[in-house]
Amino acid sequence: MRIFYIFLSIILLTSTQANSQARGPMPDPEPKIVKFYPNPAVSFITFEVTRETSKTYTLQIFNFLGRKVKDVADVSPKTVVNLSDFVRGLYIFQLKDANGRVTESGTFQVNK
């Protein structure tokens, strides 16, 4: 019985090593297009588009229930969003290109 367990552990170890080597290294993640700060925010939040500023982007902000609360067309390289109409909670933003494809999304928190 002991030989069976040794044999089984050797098979499991070699198959685990083969799977880890077959995958290869993880590709580097693409750099972020937009930086946003401060997070958590109180009265305003700043979105900075860090690359491809020649493209036209729109910024949409949704509350955590999925309702759109803000829509900013023609995002500049540095866009400040006033949060006076926002209530405390988590919000989701989407940066879309001219074709309507989401190029980046993320979450931020509003503390009041």
Give the DSSP letter of residue 84.
T
pLDDT of residue 91: 98
pLDDT of residue 18: 45
pLDDT of residue 43: 96
Contact 104, 95 (CB under 8 A): yes
Show Cβ contacts of residue 82 under 8 Å, excluding neighbours closer than 6 positions: 43, 44
Picking from 36, 110, 46, the residue whose alpha carbon sits closest to that of residue 81 is: 46
Question: What per-residue string of b and e applies to 68-99 under the rule 16 or more CB within 10 Å gives b?
Answer: eebebeebeeebebebeebeeeebbbbbbeee
End-to-end Cα spacing for the chain: 65
pLDDT string in tens for the chain (112-residue length) = 667 556 556 666 665 554 444 456 766 677 788 999 999 999 999 999 987 666 789 999 999 999 999 999 989 899 999 999 999 999 999 999 989 999 999 999 999 8
DSSP string for 6-36? HHHHHHHHHHHHHHHHHH-PPPPPPPPSEEE
Domains of the chain by residue range: 34-110
Give the DSSP letter of residue 53.
T
Q: Does domain 34-110 fall into CATH 2.60.40.10? A: yes
Contact 10, 38 (CB under 8 A): no
pLDDT of residue 51: 74
